[in-house]
Structures are given as structure tokens and as C-alpha cells.
């Protein structure tokens, strides 16, 4: 994993770039501030302007060691072409809200339900998300009852901070890595990115987040499913005003 430019400059939404590789409907850029997705999070979206033509970037695909920016049609851009790139701020914000809220949910489940681990997650661009937990013996009503506390934490306005720790420290610290099967890959210099919600939670993550929980809309737990013998799937949605 590299340190994505969006990690280092989270407020960089408009930037210039150059095409270094191209195929019909996709380009590789010499620099990109888009989050490429991963870990259940969808990629950023953006628009590009090139020689008077405007195209949309609808996603990012990792292929052949390159991040291909997928276009909304099969245009073939020239290698070396200069682009103006504009990240979709509303989409980024919606995903960051959901990702931050899933950390709050994760923190409460881990705290109240014997350190239950995450077995899957999906954060979409439509204002909805889901998280799967290894909770074979937990009644679903206990999970539904977390909704008021999640919304109270949003209202309280807790700061959300980012830091990096050595990979061995992350692996050796209980609760920093919450997935039952995978962990965020380390950076090239052997560090793991940590997201901390002040006074509540601290865990490894490579996604995009808010800087304060109050930047989120409130949420509603829409459904809880039993997925197999062990998994409980919690579905939630942002409550649009």
C-alpha cells in the first residue's frame, strides 16, 4: 500500500495530472488524489477536462500494478495529455460520513460484545453501508439498540485523527486490527495507518473519514440479517435532512 495522496492532502479536490498510460475507457495518471477504494469502500468519483472535452471518472481499478481511472465512455486519451481533475466532493463526503459511522458502530460492538471482530463491510455511494460481525450468540435487538448511542456520538462532535504506527506495534496491540481475516497492508516503510475517534476508538484503516463526528448526518439501523451460523449483518443509512 502506498500513502495515497488523499491521505496526505484530504482537502485536495482539484488538481492537474498527466496521462501516463491509456486504453479505451480508462487512464493511468502520474498523480491522483482519488481514493481508489478497497476494504469495502467504493472509490472516489471525479470529472476531468482535457482539450475541451469533459469526461467522468466513475471508479478506479487496480490492474497490472497500476491504478486505472475508469471513464464513463470508451474515449482513448493521448499519453502525455494534460488533465484538470475535479473530485466529486458530495460523493467523497457521503462515503467519509458512512465510513466514520461504521467505526463508531464497530467500537460499540467491540466494547459491548466481547471484542467481536468484523467479518465483512461495504460502504456505498448511495448513503448506505453494512457491517458483518462474528456474533453467533448475540440477539439482534442488542444490535438495534445501539442506534441512539451512535447518533449521540455523532452529535457530541468527537475529533477524528489519523496517525501511523509500526506494523509490529499494530499487530501486537489488542483491538487495533479488527477484521477476522484481513488487515490493512502496511506502507512501503512498514507503517499501519490508524484512525482514532477521540475518547472512543482507535483502529487500523485505509479509508476516507471525517475530521469530527458532528460532520455526519444521523443514521438509522435499517435491518439486521443473520448470515450463516456466526455472522450478523447490520445495515445502516444516513438520514437525509
pLDDT value of residue 202? 96
Mean pLDDT across 152-162: 98
| Contact criterion met (CB below 8 Å) for 97 and 238 | yes
Average pLDDT, the chain: 93
> pLDDT tens digits, residue range 200-224?
999 999 999 999 999 999 999 999 9
Helices (H), 113-205: 140-144, 147-156, 167-172
> pLDDT tens digits, residue range 119-138?
999 999 999 999 999 998 88
Question: Distance between CA atoms of 2 and 66, rounded to whole angstroms?
Answer: 12
Cell of 30: 502520474
Question: Distance between CA atoms of 198 and 100, rounded to whole angstroms?
Answer: 12
Q: Which domains does the chain have, with CATH numbers?
A: 5-87 (2.40.30.130), 92-238 (3.30.980.10)
Q: Where are the beta strands (DSSP E) in 51-187?
A: 53-63, 66-71, 82-87, 118-123, 128-134, 160-166
pLDDT value of residue 2? 53
Query: Considering the entire predicted model, what is its pTM?
Result: 0.93
Amino acid at each position: 500500500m502506498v500513502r495515497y495522496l488523499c491521505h496526505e492532502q484530504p482537502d485536495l479536490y482539484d488538481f492537474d495530472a498527466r496521462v501516463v498510460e491509456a486504453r479505451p475507457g480508462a487512464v493511468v495518471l502520474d498523480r491522483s488524489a482519488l481514493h481508489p477504494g478497497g476494504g469495502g469502500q467504493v472509490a472516489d468519483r471525479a470529472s476531468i477536462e482535457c482539450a475541451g472535452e469533459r469526461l467522468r471518472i466513475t471508479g478506479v481499478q487496480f490492474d497490472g500494478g497500476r491504478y486505472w481511472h475508469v471513464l464513463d465512455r470508451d474515449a482513448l486519451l493521448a499519453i502525455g495529455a494534460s488533465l484538470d481533475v475535479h473530485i466529486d466532493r458530495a460523493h467523497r463526503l457521503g462515503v467519509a460520513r458512512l465510513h466514520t459511522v461504521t467505526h463508531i458502530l464497530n467500537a460499540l460492538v467491540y466494547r459491548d460484545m466481547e471484542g467481536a471482530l468484523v467479518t465483512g463491510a461495504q460502504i456505498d455511494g448511495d448513503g448506505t453501508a453494512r457491517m458483518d460481525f462474528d456474533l453467533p450468540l448475540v440477539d439482534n435487538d442488542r444490535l438495534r439498540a445501539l442506534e441512539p448511542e451512535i447518533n449521540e456520538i455523532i452529535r457530541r462532535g468527537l475529533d477524528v485523527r489519523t496517525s501511523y504506527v509500526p506494523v509490529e506495534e499494530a499487530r501486537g496491540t489488542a483491538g487495533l486490527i479488527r477484521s477476522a481475516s484481513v488487515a490493512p497492508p502496511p506502507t512501503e516503510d512498514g507503517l499501519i495507518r490508524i484512525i482514532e475517534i477521540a475518547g472512543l476508538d482507535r483502529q487500523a484503516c485505509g479509508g476516507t473519514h471525517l475530521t469530527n463526528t458532528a460532520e455526519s448526518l444521523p443514521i438509522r439501523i435499517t435491518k439486521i440479517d443473520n448470515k450463516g451460523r456466526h455472522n450478523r449483518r447490520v445495515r445502516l443509512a444516513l438520514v437525509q435532512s
